[in-house]
């Protein structure tokens, strides 16, 4: 059985936009995982990337700027059987929604965040986003960027995300594999996706990532800036639930996340499968949470009266 | 002399157990068959600042507090200074004799301006600047003084309970103050003992110790001041099945009964108590007959209480939960609601049933964070960008708040829109005896849901219908994939900017409000007390209800023909019925806890009729029953157009 994840809605991104690659990778990942479309709910915020849910044949919830995470968490906790994706831009997740981004890490709800990371606010015509480095002047900026950039990988790790990866929008196959791992991971996962914006980011372009500005003197071929962590023998996984190993793996990942410029790593930076998910934490308090989550609970009997035993609840307020 | 209602007050530093002692007092009265109403005043502070609790007890129903106190229990200087003048002639003050020499100027927790006012008043009476001067002043008013040497008594109690550490026993001074009050009132000790047991249920040792201390003080006061007070309090027989409950708990129980299974919140006064109670009761038993019905169903139900990082996440996570078909709500106060309005607008646009329980407190900004006000009505009605349908519903007392908490869930789901359920601090933090909540009076009316089998063809989430209501689907169900967006959208939920589609969709959404206005019966929208043909109509909303109702008999005795209309449904407003009632009135008296008469403004905009008189209060304290009476009298008899009430401490 195969499922189509294309919704048929006209896609209005600019020609050459990195978003196309991310959309394809999401659709391919879900399709290869054979998840039924109705089990999937895709949440987004505001911006070009946040139109993504409309292009996917699955429940698609296009919310408000910066807030897709809390919407998604509410839905997932009410119905833990859902496969939940949060797809949003760097401005959405790391500026206006940064508080939610950090708080999500403390909970480890089983969902996957995909950040479309292009360094600019595209839909408002190219202002600097929180991942644009200081001093860079993309074409729509009147002056070079005055702010330093946030590091999404490091921020996710110290916030408690238990799967942290970076992909590249124009390496669809690699990105698809990352997304599959992220979705399969039990807990909150981040896939930060480097994504050229052909309209407003004239610095970190497709050509720049490919290293076309620098040629190997021996072969004459360009030297790509992007390399894969897995090719360098990097081991991101916390194998034992041991504090020392967790600390070591976190430090390794953060050190890797600081690489930029000539060599930019993609792949899995960090994975810790030993942290209980929020759903597991809830189950320890509400034993039948999994079988009988909020969305599946019956609330009224046939005569439309509450199903809960109200008399029992009121006992402690009785005056006898 | 036996009173038809007794007003008792206890004060003390925050963190010294005033609240607990007051609950013990209220419960002891209630256990003796009396009806009680208790209300709490406190600073935005954890320890040290002054707080007090007033309990009104009567064999008749009581619904409001009173500013005139019969008996004051105190164990510190500040309580004497602040409240002695509230005690009526023949009333009594229980105080610690060791505080009388204290210099009022040196009480650090009283605002400087307040101290100045007190000293000025004492000076005008030719008195000095110590606590004893306050007592001297009230002596002139025939107020009985009962010194209670707490420390000496504690030394005796220390031997009695075999606990040599006085510092540990110091925590019992509040119970001692309660016991002294009951002794003076000659109220049966048995009820106090039962109440202490019920309060310290899980801590038997502490309960025993407190009972012993209470008994010792009770006897001591009997021996030393047995007949000092002319007033007494008698238990009564009550056949009704009653409970003693607070406002926030009442709403929380209504949520569980009404099927709320997801509640989000960010801590804020005074709303947080509701969520804390819900979390404490997150797993609850189902009716035994329900267990048999379905095997997949567990033996227990549950509610997820989700503490968020801010109120934006509170409204948005509740909305996300609601998309799965779960009844979801959040509870907050003014500053939190301010953060929620963008999310409210999205819920309106996407027709998501979500309930915001809004406990108003003193504003603007941080305002009076632990005090009372009703100044967020217009905000609740209009907050949010763009035009979208919503229901705004206000409860007036603790008992109806339970049933209303169910109603608002029904409204939200039937009309697929956000509902703001407005309450306030006075209601939230009060306790009241009321009839045990009757589950047979609770009806759960669910919204229209579809699943795959109901569909002939593809599913249109925002299908154009005559009622404006498009059947909902739940995230995760097969065959009903849909899209939501904050953008204007087509019937699928995809973005559109087409002008015609915009008009059609806008009109469909807004039509739901007309449907709601038609379907919801008048008796849910407003309550009429008295004959609505009366020449004087009192209009009000929210918690002033108790004070108004408690003053109605007295107004009638004074020959003031008055009918009180409690407006509950603010949007859609009961325009027709209100128009009929108000158009025949000679005087319309609007009673509200705010500066500008917000209900009056709504009435004016809906009906073109303006209240002729306003009785307003905005000093952060709720309206007492005396104030309601005098306020309405001043409006009707003296024809004062704007009466500002300034009572309270």
Q: Where are the domains of chain B?
A: 5-225, 245-441, 449-519, 525-644
Residue showing tokens 């007390």: B529
Contact state of B495 with A311 under an 8 Å Cβ cutoff: no
**Cβ atoms of residues A306 and B257 within 8 Å:** yes
Q: Which residues contact A315 (CB under 8 A, 6 or more apart)?
A: none
Tokens standing for residue B210: 């407190």
Q: Measured between CB atoms, does B202 come within 8 Å of chain A?
A: no
Element (H, E) at A58: none
CA quadruple B484, B487, B490, B491: dihedral positive or negative? positive
Q: Which residues contact B70 (CB under 8 A, 6 or more apart)?
A: B3, B6, B7, B8, B87, B88, B91, B92, B231
| Min Cα separation A190/chain B (Å) | 19
Q: Is B386 left (phi over 0), alpha (psi -120 to 50) or beta?
A: left
Query: What pLDDT is stored for residue B457 in this prediction?
Result: 85
Provide the CA B137 distance to its chain's centre, in angstroms. 35
Q: In angstroms, rounded to a whole number, what is the distance separating the alpha carbons of residues A305 and B444? A: 6
Query: What pLDDT is stored for residue B2 in this prediction?
Result: 64
Query: What pLDDT is stored for residue B290 in this prediction?
Result: 63
Query: What pLDDT is stored for residue B293 in this prediction?
Result: 53
Q: In angstroms, rounded to a whole number, what is the distance separating the alpha carbons of residues B94 and B224? A: 13
User: In Å, what is the CA distance from B121 to each residue of B109, B342, B649?
Assistant: 19, 50, 16
Tokens standing for residue A156: 């996710």
pLDDT greater than 80 at residue B328 = yes
Q: Measured between CB atoms, does B612 come within 8 Å of chain A?
A: no
Nearest chain B residue to A103 by CA: give it.
B309
Nearest chain A residue to B432 by CA: give it.
A317
Cα Rg of chain B (Å, integer): 27
The string of pLDDT tens digits covering residues B102-118 is 999 999 999 999 999 99
Mean pLDDT of B69-84: 98
Residue showing tokens 């309106």: B348
For residue B564, which phi and psi values (nearest 5 degrees)? -110, 125
Pairing type for strands B327-332 and B354-360 reads parallel
Mean pLDDT of B60-81: 96
pLDDT greater than 90 at residue B433 = yes
Give the model's confidence band at B215: pLDDT under 50 very low, under 70 low, under 90 confident, else very high.
Answer: very high
Tokens standing for residue B351: 């027709």
| Among the listed residues B615, B619, B547, B606, the one whose alpha carbon sits nearest the alpha carbon of residue B571 | B606
Angle between helices B189-199 and B18-31 (to 10 degrees): 130
pLDDT greater than 80 at residue B381 = yes
Q: In angstroms, rounded to a whole number, what is the distance separating the alpha carbons of residues A47 and A97? A: 13
Interface test with A, best of B289, B438, B476, B492 (most A CBs within 10 A): B476
Q: In angstroms, rounded to a whole number, what is the distance separating the alpha carbons of residues A122 and B590? A: 52
Contact state of B484 with A61 under an 8 Å Cβ cutoff: yes
pLDDT greater than 70 at residue B291 = no
Contact state of B285 with A297 under an 8 Å Cβ cutoff: no
Instruction: Report H helices in B368-498.
Output: 377-382, 398-415, 425-428
Residue showing tokens 């217009």: B378
Tell me which residue in A37, A64, A309 faces B285 most closely, judged by beta carbons.
Answer: A309
Instruction: Report H helices in chain A.
Output: 19-32, 52-55, 68-78, 90-91, 98-107, 152-159, 172-184, 206-209, 243-257, 278-285, 310-314
Provide the CA B165 distance to its chain's centre, in angstroms. 39
Q: In angstroms, rounded to a whole number, what is the distance separating the alpha carbons of residues A155 and A176? A: 23
Pairing type for strands B391-394 and B569-571 reads antiparallel
Tell me which residue in A58, A287, A312 faces B285 most closely, judged by beta carbons.
Answer: A312
The string of pLDDT tens digits covering residues B224-235 is 999 999 999 999
Percent helix, strand, coil in chain A (nearest 5)?
35, 20, 45
pLDDT greater than 80 at residue B311 = yes
**Cβ atoms of residues A42 and A52 within 8 Å:** yes
pLDDT greater than 90 at residue B159 = yes
Query: What pLDDT is stored for residue B297 in this prediction?
Result: 57
Q: Which residues contact B290 (CB under 8 A, 6 or more apart)?
A: A298, A301, A307, B297
Contact state of A310 with B437 under an 8 Å Cβ cutoff: yes
Contact state of A58 with B481 under an 8 Å Cβ cutoff: yes
Nearest chain A residue to B451 by CA: give it.
A38
List of chain B residues whose C-beta atoms are within 8 Å of the C-beta of residue A292: 296-298, 301-302
Looking at residue B362, what DSSP letter applies?
Answer: B
Percent helix, strand, coil in chain B (nearest 5)?
40, 20, 35
| Min Cα separation B233/chain A (Å) | 18
Tell me which residue in A59, A100, A314 faces B436 most closely, judged by beta carbons.
Answer: A314
Element (H, E) at B275: helix B272-280
CATH 3.40.920.10 fits B5-225, yes or no: yes
Contact state of A300 with B342 under an 8 Å Cβ cutoff: no
Query: What pLDDT is stored for residue B379 in this prediction?
Result: 98
| Among the listed residues B518, B540, B620, B250, the one whose alpha carbon sits nearest the alpha carbon of residue B377 | B540
CATH 3.40.50.920 fits B525-644, yes or no: yes
**Cβ atoms of residues B196 and B21 within 8 Å:** no
The string of pLDDT tens digits covering residues B36-52 is 999 999 999 999 999 99
Please list the pLDDT of chain A residue by residue as tens digits (320 residues).
678 999 999 999 999 999 999 999 999 999 999 999 999 999 999 999 999 999 999 999 999 999 999 999 999 999 999 999 999 999 999 999 999 999 999 999 999 999 999 999 999 999 999 999 999 999 999 999 999 999 999 999 999 999 999 999 999 999 999 999 999 999 999 999 999 999 999 999 999 999 999 999 999 999 999 999 999 999 999 999 999 999 999 999 999 999 999 999 999 999 999 999 999 999 999 999 999 999 999 999 999 999 999 989 999 899 87
Q: In angstroms, rounded to a whole number, what is the distance separating the alpha carbons of residues B543 and B56? A: 16
Tell me which residue in B287, B319, B342 faces A307 most closely, judged by beta carbons.
Answer: B287
| Min Cα separation A233/chain B (Å) | 38
Query: What pLDDT is stored for residue B237 in this prediction?
Result: 86
Nearest chain B residue to A39 by CA: give it.
B476
| Among the listed residues A210, A174, A200, the one whose alpha carbon sits nearest the alpha carbon of residue A48 | A200
List of chain A residues whose C-beta atoms are within 8 Å of the C-beta of residue B304: 77-78, 282, 286, 294
Contact state of B480 with A67 under an 8 Å Cβ cutoff: no
Angle between helices B173-184 and B150-160 (to 10 degrees): 100
Q: Measured between CB atoms, does B35 come within 8 Å of chain A?
A: no
Count how many pairs of residues, chain A against chain B, have C-beta atoms within 8 Å: 251
pLDDT greater than 90 at residue B95 = yes
| Min Cα separation B279/chain A (Å) | 10
Burial of B573 (0-12, 13-18, 19+ CB in 10 A): buried
Contact state of B262 with A294 under an 8 Å Cβ cutoff: yes
For residue B405, which phi and psi values (nearest 5 degrees)? -60, -30
**Cβ atoms of residues A137 and A144 within 8 Å:** yes
pLDDT greater than 60 at residue B295 = no
List of chain B residues whose C-beta atoms are within 8 Å of the C-beta of residue A79: 324, 326, 474-476
The string of pLDDT tens digits covering residues B247-283 is 999 999 999 999 999 999 999 999 999 999 999 999 9
| Among the listed residues A182, A191, A188, the one whose alpha carbon sits nearest the alpha carbon of residue A275 | A188
List of chain B residues whose C-beta atoms are within 8 Å of the C-beta of residue A60: 482-484, 493
Average pLDDT, chain B: 96
Q: Measured between CB atoms, does B455 come within 8 Å of chain A?
A: no
Nearest chain A residue to B487 by CA: give it.
A62
List of chain A residues whose C-beta atoms are within 8 Å of the C-beta of residue B306: 73-74, 77
The string of pLDDT tens digits covering residues A93-150 is 999 999 999 999 999 999 999 999 999 999 999 999 999 999 999 999 999 999 999 9
Interface of B with A in 282-321 (CB under 8 A): 282-290, 293-294, 296-304, 306, 308-310, 312-314, 316-321
Element (H, E) at A166: strand A163-168
| Among the listed residues B637, B621, B640, B641, the one whose alpha carbon sits nearest the alpha carbon of residue B52 | B621
Query: What pLDDT is stored for residue B1 in this prediction?
Result: 60
List of chain B residues whose C-beta atoms are within 8 Å of the C-beta of residue A305: 439-440, 442-444
| Among the listed residues B292, B329, B298, B250, the one whose alpha carbon sits nearest the alpha carbon of residue A302 | B292
Give the model's confidence band at B377: pLDDT under 50 very low, under 70 low, under 90 confident, else very high.
Answer: very high
Contact state of B309 with A72 under an 8 Å Cβ cutoff: no
Tokens standing for residue A106: 């403390």
Q: Please state the three-class secondary structure of B34-101 as a single string.
A: CEEEEEEECCCCCCCCEEEEEEEEECCCCCCCCCCEEEEECCCHHHHHHHHHHEEEEEEEEECHHHCC
Element (H, E) at B299: none
Q: In angstroms, rounded to a whole number, what is the distance separating the alpha carbons of residues A78 and B261? A: 8
Tell me which residue in B259, B283, B433 faces A299 most closely, judged by beta carbons.
Answer: B259
Asked if the interface predicted TM-score (ipTM) of this complex is over 0.95, the answer is: yes
List of chain B residues whose C-beta atoms are within 8 Å of the C-beta of residue A100: 309, 312-313
Tell me which residue in A62, A67, A305 faces B439 most closely, judged by beta carbons.
Answer: A305
Query: What pLDDT is stored for residue B238 in this prediction?
Result: 79
Q: Between the CA atoms of A170, A171, A177 and A178, what dihedral angle is there, to the nearest 10 degrees?
A: -70
Tally Cβ neighbours within 10 Å of residue A317.
19
pLDDT greater than 60 at residue B296 = no
Question: How many percent of chain B have pLDDT more than 70?
Answer: 98
Equal fold, B5-225 vs B525-644: no
In order of their start, the domains of chain A are 19-282 (3.40.50.970)
pLDDT greater than 70 at residue B298 = no
| Min Cα separation A204/chain B (Å) | 30
Give the model's confidence band at B240: pLDDT under 50 very low, under 70 low, under 90 confident, else very high.
Answer: confident
Tell me which residue in B439, B476, B478 faces A306 most closely, judged by beta carbons.
Answer: B439
Coil vs helix vs strand at B257? helix
Coil vs helix vs strand at B256? helix
The string of pLDDT tens digits covering residues B122-149 is 999 999 999 999 999 999 999 999 999 9
For residue B124, which phi and psi values (nearest 5 degrees)? -65, -20
**Cβ atoms of residues B239 and A307 within 8 Å:** no
| Among the listed residues B540, B625, B543, the one whose alpha carbon sits nearest the alpha carbon of residue B247 | B543
Q: Which CATH code for domain B245-441? A: 3.40.50.970
| Min Cα separation B293/chain A (Å) | 9
Coil vs helix vs strand at B104? helix
Nearest chain A residue to B281 by CA: give it.
A313
List of chain B residues whose C-beta atoms are within 8 Å of the C-beta of residue A36: 478
Contact state of A309 with B474 under an 8 Å Cβ cutoff: no
Contact state of B285 with A67 under an 8 Å Cβ cutoff: no
| Among the listed residues A171, A181, A173, the one whose alpha carbon sits nearest the alpha carbon of residue A265 | A171
Q: Measured between CB atoms, does B356 come within 8 Å of chain A?
A: no
Length of chain B in terms of residues written: 649
| Min Cα separation B229/chain A (Å) | 28
Q: In angstroms, rounded to a whole number, what is the distance separating the alpha carbons of residues B219 and B241? A: 32
């Amino acid at each position: 059985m195969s499922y189509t994840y294309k919704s048929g809605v006209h896609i209005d991104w600019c020609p050459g936009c990195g978003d196309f690659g991310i959309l394809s990778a999401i659709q391919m990942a879900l399709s290869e995982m054979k998840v039924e479309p109705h089990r999937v709910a895709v949440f987004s915020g505001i911006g070009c990337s946040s139109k993504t849910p409309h292009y996917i044949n699955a429940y698609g919830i296009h919310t408000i700027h910066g807030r897709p995470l809390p919407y998604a968490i509410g839905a997932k906790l009410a119905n833990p059987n859902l496969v939940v994706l949060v797809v949003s831009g760097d401005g959405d997740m790391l500026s206006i929604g940064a508080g939610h981004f950090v708080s999500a890490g403390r909970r480890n709800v089983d969902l996957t965040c995909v950040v479309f990371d292009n360094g600019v606010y595209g839909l408002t015509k190219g202002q600097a986003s929180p991942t644009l480095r200081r001093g860079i002047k993309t074409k729509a900026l009147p002056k070079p960027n005055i702010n330093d950039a946030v590091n999404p990988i490091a921020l996710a790790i110290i916030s408690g995300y238990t799967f942290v990866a970076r992909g590249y929008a124009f390496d669809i196959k690699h990105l698809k594999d990352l997304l599959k791992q992220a979705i399969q991971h039990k807990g909150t996962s981040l896939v930060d996706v480097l994504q050229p914006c052909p309209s407003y980011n004239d610095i970190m372009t497709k050509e720049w990532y490919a290293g076309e500005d620098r040629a190997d003197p021996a072969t004459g071929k360009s030297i790509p800036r992007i390399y894969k962590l897995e090719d360098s023998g990097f081991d991101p996984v916390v194998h034992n639930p041991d504090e020392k190993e967790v600390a070591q793996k976190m430090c390794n990942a953060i050190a890797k996340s600081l690489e930029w410029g000539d060599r930019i790593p993609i792949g899995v930076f960090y994975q810790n499968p030993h942290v209980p998910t929020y759903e597991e934490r809830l189950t320890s308090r509400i034993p039948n949470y999994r079988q009988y989550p909020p969305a599946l609970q019956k609330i009224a009997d046939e005569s439309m009266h509450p199903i809960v035993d109200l008399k029992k609840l009121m006992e402690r307020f009785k005056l006898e | 002399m036996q009173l038809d209602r007794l007003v008792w007050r206890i004060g003390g530093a925050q963190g010294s157990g005033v609240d607990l002692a007051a609950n013990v007092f209220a419960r002891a009265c209630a256990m003796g068959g009396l009806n009680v109403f208790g209300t709490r005043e406190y600073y935005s502070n954890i320890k040290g600042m002054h707080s007090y609790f007033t309990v009104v007890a009567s064999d008749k129903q009581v619904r409001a507090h009173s500013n005139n106190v019969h008996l004051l229990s105190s164990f510190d200087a500040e309580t004497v200074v602040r409240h002695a003048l509230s005690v009526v002639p023949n009333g009594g003050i229980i105080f610690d004799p060791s505080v009388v020499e204290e210099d009022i100027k040196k009480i650090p927790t009283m605002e400087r301006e307040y101290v100045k006012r007190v000293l000025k008043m004492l000076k005008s009476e030719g008195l000095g600047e110590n606590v004893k001067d306050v007592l001297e002043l009230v002596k002139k008013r025939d107020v009985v003084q009962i010194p209670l040497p707490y420390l000496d008594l504690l030394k005796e109690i220390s031997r009695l309970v075999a606990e040599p550490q006085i510092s540990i026993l110091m925590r019992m001074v509040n119970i001692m103050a309660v016991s002294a009050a009951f002794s003076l009132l000659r109220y049966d000790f048995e009820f106090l003992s039962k109440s202490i047991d019920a309060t310290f249920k899980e801590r038997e040792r502490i309960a025993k110790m407190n009972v012993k201390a209470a008994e010792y003080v009770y006897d001591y006061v009997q021996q030393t001041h047995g007949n000092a007070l002319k007033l007494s309090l008698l238990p009564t027989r009550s056949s009704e099945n009653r409970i003693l409950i607070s406002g926030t708990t009442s709403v929380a129980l209504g949520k569980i009964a009404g099927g709320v299974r997801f509640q989000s919140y960010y801590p804020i006064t005074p709303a947080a108590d509701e969520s804390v109670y819900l979390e404490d009761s997150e797993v609850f038993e189902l009716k035994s007959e329900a267990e048999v019905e379905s095997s997949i169903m567990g033996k227990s139900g549950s509610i997820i209480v989700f503490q968020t990082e801010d109120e934006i996440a509170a409204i948005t996570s509740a909305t996300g939960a609601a998309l799965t078909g779960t009844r979801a709500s959040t509870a907050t106060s003014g500053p939190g609601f301010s953060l929620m309005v963008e999310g409210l607008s999205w819920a309106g646009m996407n027709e998501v049933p979500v309930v915001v329980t809004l406990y108003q407190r003193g504003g603007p900004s941080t305002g009076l964070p632990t005090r009372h006000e009703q100044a967020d009505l217009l905000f609740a009605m209009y907050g949010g960008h763009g035009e979208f349908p919503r229901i705004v519903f206000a409860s007036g007392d603790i008992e109806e708040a339970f049933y209303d908490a169910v109603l608002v869930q029904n409204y939200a789901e039937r009309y697929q829109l956000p509902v703001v359920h407005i309450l306030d601090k006075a209601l939230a933090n009060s306790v009241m005896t009321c009839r045990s909540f009757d589950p047979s009076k609770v009806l759960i009316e669910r919204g229209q849901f579809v699943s795959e089998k109901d569909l002939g063809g593809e599913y249109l989430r925002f299908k154009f219908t005559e009622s404006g209501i498009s059947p909902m689907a739940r995230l995760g169900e097969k065959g009903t994939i849909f899209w939501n967006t904050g953008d204007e959208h087509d019937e699928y939920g995809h973005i559109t900017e087409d002008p015609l589609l915009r008009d059609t969709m806008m009109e469909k959404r807004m039509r739901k409000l007309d449907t709601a206005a038609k379907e919801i019966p008048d008796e849910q929208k407003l309550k009429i007390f008295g004959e609505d043909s009366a020449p004087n109509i009192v209009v009000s909303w929210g918690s002033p209800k108790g004070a108004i109702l408690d003053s109605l008999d007295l107004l009638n005795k004074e020959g003031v023909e008055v009918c009180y209309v409690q407006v509950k449904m603010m949007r859609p407003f009961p325009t027709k019925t209100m128009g009929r009632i108000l158009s025949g009135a000679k005087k319309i008296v609007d009673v509200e806890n705010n500066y500008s008469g917000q209900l009056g403004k709504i009435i004016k905009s809906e009906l073109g009729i303006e209240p002729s008189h306003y009785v307003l209060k905005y000093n952060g304290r709720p309206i007492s029953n005396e104030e309601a009476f005098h306020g309405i009298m001043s409006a009707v008899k003296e024809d004062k157009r704007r009466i500002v009430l300034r009572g309270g401490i």
